[in-house]
Amino acid sequence: MADAATFNVTIVTPDGTVFDDTSTMLVVTTDDGELGFMANHLPMIAALAIGRLTLKHADSQADDTEVAVNGGYVRFDGNKATVVADSAELREQIDVSRAQNAKSRAEKTIAHAKEVHDPDELSRGQVHLARALNRLRVSGNLK
């Protein structure tokens, strides 16, 4: 599909640029569900939820690029998408062991928060668990 329209996608975090290349489609996760963008889409800004970001490369034989994103926003102007994320990891860069350890710690935090009836600790634990599960899901290692 060599004639597919492409656009530039840049993903940045406080630690630097995670991705800067072209894509034929960008799919992001928001609180309201998934949004898909293709070249010449109407301009839009949307808040991102903890979830998977997928970059399609239909114009080449390259596999889709998947990224674990933990909040932020996407700005799309028709020919350029900019994702500013709290944190983002390409699938192949996810440390699965670290993510599994984070999941275990978050589950312990949630259990403790429920025991002592601490809503703030419970909320923090739930966010940490969602981030760890997202990383494991994107890596393909959710057990």
pLDDT tens-place string over residues 13-58:
999 999 999 999 999 999 899 999 999 889 999 999 999 999 998 7
Q: Tens digit of pLDDT for each residue in 53-110?
A: 999 987 565 688 999 999 999 999 978 999 999 999 999 999 999 999 999 999 999 9
**What pLDDT was estimated at residue 62?**
63
Rounded alpha-carbon distances, angstroms, from residue 77 to 30, 33, 59, 74? 18, 20, 21, 10
Look at residue 140 and tell me whether its pLDDT is greater than 50. Answer: yes
Q: Which pTM was predicted?
A: 0.86
Average pLDDT over residues 126-132: 95
Q: Can you tell me the distance from the alpha carbon of 69 to that of 61, in angstroms, rounded to the nearest whole number?
A: 24
HSE of 112 in the Cβ direction (CA atoms, 13 Å)?
10
**What pLDDT was estimated at residue 1?**
41
Residues 6 or more apart whose Cβ sits within 8 Å of residue 83? 9, 10, 11, 12, 28, 48, 53, 69, 72, 73, 74
Residue corresponding to tokens 């290692």: 141
Residues 6 or more apart whose Cβ sits within 8 Å of residue 94? 68, 135, 138, 139
Look at residue 142 and tell me whether its pLDDT is greater than 80. Answer: no
HSE of 116 in the Cβ direction (CA atoms, 13 Å)?
10
Confidence band of 8 (pLDDT split at 50, 70, 90): very high
